[in-house]
Chain A
Amino acid sequence: MLADEELDLPEIGERDLVAHFTRLAHRQYSVDAGAYPLGSCTMKYNPKASEAVAALESFAAAHPSAPDSMVQGCLEVICLVERAICALTGMKRATLQPPAGAAGELTGLLIMRAYHDAQGEERSKVLIPDSAHGTNPASVAIAGYETVVVPSDLEGLVDLGEFEKLLDDQTAGFMLTNPNTLGLFEKNIKTIAKLVHEAGGLLYYDGANLNAVLGICRPGDMGFDIVHSNLHKTFATPHGGGGPGSGPVAVKDHLVEYLPGPLPTLDPATGRFMQVQPAKSIGRVHANHGNFAIVLRALAYMTSNGPEGLRRVAEMAVLNARYLQARIAGAYQMPYTGDCMHEFVASAGEMRRETGVRALDVGKRLLDKGFHAPTVYFPLIVDEAMMFEPTETESLETIDALADALIEIAAEAQTDPDVVTQSPHTTPVRRPDEGRVSNPKTRRLTADMNAGR
């Protein structure tokens, strides 16, 4: 049972280790370095005070299996964030166990399944719009449902006529992002909610775009039954190079008993926080309490802003997007004319036909000009899509510089398309060959760290 030989791990001094990672850090763009208008990802500035709060020793050293009496502070943090999420989304209770947005989706869908099971109903399908995030259909499949895609209309909104045709007694629910991934508000949402509920289904809110409507309107008032939010987007917790995130799921009254347990709860009789198992809980979705240190940062952010500040977040997020769109509207096609919210989708379709420059190339050229690229080729319903979400933390000067860079690129596409299609020119590497990406196993690592490359 004992190992015969030592593991093949790097043998490297601390000095070289730190140098190695410092060099890697120099080859990495980040929000701290500059604007990051990656649509649907809400790459806003991550306040340093939130980091200071997360570093507090009594939080960082708290053991997840300690008796409730010894972790009252942690349980209170969870309950405070739950309350704020419910207030902002118009819901009754929430779980903070899901460690990411997609995990929140799966949790919400399992709640949906448990609800229908309890009504003695077996429903087989979940509707999603054709503009939905890829996680939506993937989560639907894992929850054991079939995905049915609802087309968008010419305005970029859910096609109500088609939607009604697809809705039936097999529909477990409808997953919707509002504003949707085109950055447009689904103004028929009350009608959609009524139709879903009449068919016996539940309405699920994908909170990827909650930043647009924070304090302005609430999914609960729109008729949604289940809401997931992304603390790493809306509430400014750092994205960590791709995680950790946090994807709380909030529900209306009629679904509270299905929430994952245990659910930290204030006992009004004693004023103490305890953990309660909801009556028909779907069970745990995380081994502990979710990504607590992320939840804690979100609380710090909410507390920094307060109610008025959070509403101001939505206002400035939408103003920045609207302004950037107006600035570049002459240089790029805008396939949908509706008023955008916190993000918008431009198309490089015409540019590609005229000059050969694609959305991908525009994104790469933007890297040369010191910005991160937008989300490209999503949503799938837009040809050569470029999705911009500047967020509220970028100043007018930054948005102007970003707009100027995009206008320059459009001009380059006409005058010198090669400079765009061959870009980037200034980054540490250029256009890695994705077709030749190796088998992820290699034996080169140790040498690398030692040689300090």
Chain B
Amino acid sequence: MSFIPHTDADVGVMLDTVGLDSTINLFDSIPDEIRLDFPPSSGVPQALSEPELIASMKALAGRNRGELVCFAGGGAYDAFVPAAVSSIAAKPEFATAYTPYQAEVSQGVLQALFEYQTLICRLTGMEVANASLYDGATALVEGVALAAAVTGKSKIVVGAGLNPRFRQVLETVASGHSWDITSVPLEGGVSAWPSIDGDVAAVVVQHPNYLGCLEDVGLVTARASEAGALSVVVTDPISNGILKTPGALGADVVVGEGQQLGGALNFGGPYLGIFATKDAYLRQVPGRIVGETVDADGKRAYALALQAREQHIRREKASSNICTNQTLMAIAATAALAWLGPQGLRRAAESSSLLAHYLADRLCEIPGCSLATTAPFFREFALKLPLPAADVIERLADEGFLAGVDLTGDYPDFGDAMLVAVTENRTRQQADQYVEAMNKVIKK
């Protein structure tokens, strides 16, 4: 199926106007030696009509194991997405626009992003937020880059409770920056924070951490501050419905994965990189920022702010290379936060935390199962298993569950263990069925 509207007659008229005989002459400036006579066919899918396309893609989708009740998390959550939020995020006016360079015809996206920034500030307890980054991991990298730029130092101290995949992305980008990354080991599931040296640029703490445990964020931010380093707190937006915000705990930079705010799992993307910091660092903030202003008639208007930081103006001296961000996800997050409201967010945090603790207690009654951590946790926990985690996950799939995320590779000290997450989408009944299924699998 083609999306080209031209008739043969149209093409004839146009070729006449530009003085060419054939469409092939459009490419006369390309040297013959690299011109293809035919388009590459091997490797490119053959054309299908729309019904054939849908059927073929449904068949592909069918090769996933669908219909599993999801207890897996680890940075990607089966969050409840209200229908109103899906409907707002699907609006073609938002979905098919691009970056709001022309403010006069982009007030919709600009105002929505301004509202997003406002809500992120309130959610994190910070003073400024940008209009989104790609995902939690890339937001973390940008947070560390800001700290390195502000402090002029290059040592990065990272708690071992950081999402291991965030850590890997940080290490990849560090190779261009000559950042020196050191780890703080875990004790009981939380980082055992040492005193911070004077040559440290950033101290990175995830709270709740990858294992679900609550870190002592106040201690980390105080120690970072004493040492002249910046604290970078990786937040979980839902947890802020019940926990003190990172800002209230003294964070200099707050980053996080915002997928839970109105986003589907989508096999890992597109997600939403949350980025917020203090007013003092506004000029080092990466990516787009929207601000409020007035127009030529004195009416309230929104426009991209502080563009002099950005790559299209400042080129190699820009605060980051970001151009396209995750606007549509940011709009969904804005709608999701407004839909929840303060009580809704609190309820989501409380109910899932209660259910997670109930589930953990019940699972730990099963012989051979125990918590791998001792610190208080939010709504995700590391469970030691009497069998290899991969086997447990495969077998629980036969019982209708995606049981968790295998921790064996990332946290070998735990032995056989997996990470179990409970979102506001899970019910007590599902938790009970999960326990029953686990019992069955382990007794086999």
Contacts and interface: CB of A to CB of B under 8 A. Distances in A.
Contacts of A187: 29-31
A309 interface: yes
B354 to A, nearest CB: 14
Contacts of B326: 99, 240, 243-244
A33 interface: yes
Top 3 A-B pairs ranked by shortest CB distance? A288-B268, A306-B47, A28-B108
Contacts of A375: 101
B84 interface: yes
Interface in A89-114: 90, 99-103, 105-106, 109-110, 113-114
Among B17, B127, B310, B314, max chain A CB count under 10 A is at B17
Interface in A2-34: 2-4, 6-12, 14, 17-18, 20-22, 24-33
Among A60, A243, A436, max chain B CB count under 10 A is at A243
Nearest to A74: B267
Interface stretch (A50-58, A162-170, A195-203, A348-356): A50-58
Nearest to A368: B104
A393 B4 contact: yes
Given A1-B243, A63-B78, A241 B98 contact: yes
A65 B76 contact: yes
Contacts of A238: 92, 95-96, 328
14 contacts: A28-B105, A30-B93, A87-B42, A106-B321, A218-B36, A239-B99, A241-B109, A303-B57, A307-B44, A310-B39, A318-B27, A323-B17, A430-B297, A433-B293
A278 interface: no
B74 to A, nearest CB: 5
Nearest to B342: A6
Contacts of A327: 17
B93 A71 contact: no
Contacts of B134: 99-100, 103, 243-244, 286, 291
Contacts of A427: 104-105
B168 A284 contact: yes
B385 interface: no
Contacts of B345: 7, 9
Contacts of A253: none
A76 B4 contact: no
Interface stretch (B114-122, B191-199, B364-372, B431-439): B114-122
Interface in B298-339: 299, 301-307, 310-318, 320-329, 331, 335, 337-339
Contacts of A302: 44-45
B267 A63 contact: yes
B268 A38 contact: no
Interface stretch (B174-182, B223-231, B355-363): B174-182
B3 A306 contact: no
B62 interface: yes
A46 B95 contact: yes
Nearest to B312: A134
Interface in B14-32: 14-15, 17-18, 20, 23, 26-31
A437 interface: yes
Contacts of A436: 293-294
B160 interface: no
B56 A287 contact: no
Nearest to B87: A18
A269 interface: no
Contacts of B303: 432-434, 437
Contact of B169 (A2, A133, A287, A372): A287
Interface size band for B:
35 or more
Nearest to A14: B84
A158 interface: no
A432 B98 contact: no
B127 A244 contact: no
Contacts of B82: 14
Contacts, number: 633
B380 interface: no
Interface string A232-254: 10001011111111000000000
A304 B267 contact: no
Contact of B39 (A27, A300, A307): A307
Contact of A213 (B30, B107, B315): B30
B53 interface: yes
A46 B96 contact: yes
B60 A241 contact: no
Interface string A125-158: 0000000011101111111110100000000000
A289 interface: yes
B353 to A, nearest CB: 11
Given A65-B74, A221-B34, A395-B5, A304 B315 contact: no
A177 B324 CA distance: 18
A123 to B, nearest CB: 13
A40 to B, nearest CB: 10
A115 interface: no
A60 B176 contact: no
A295 B187 CA distance: 40
A393 B245 CA distance: 48
Given A2-B242, A428-B104, 11 more contacts: A14-B84, A74-B64, A137-B311, A243-B328, A282-B172, A293-B267, A306-B47, A364-B104, A434-B305, A434-B307, A441-B117
A303 B175 CA distance: 38
A215 interface: yes
B429 interface: no
B260 to A, nearest CB: 13
Contacts of A109: 176
A3 B45 CA distance: 53
Interface in A401-450: 422, 424, 427-434, 436-445, 448-449
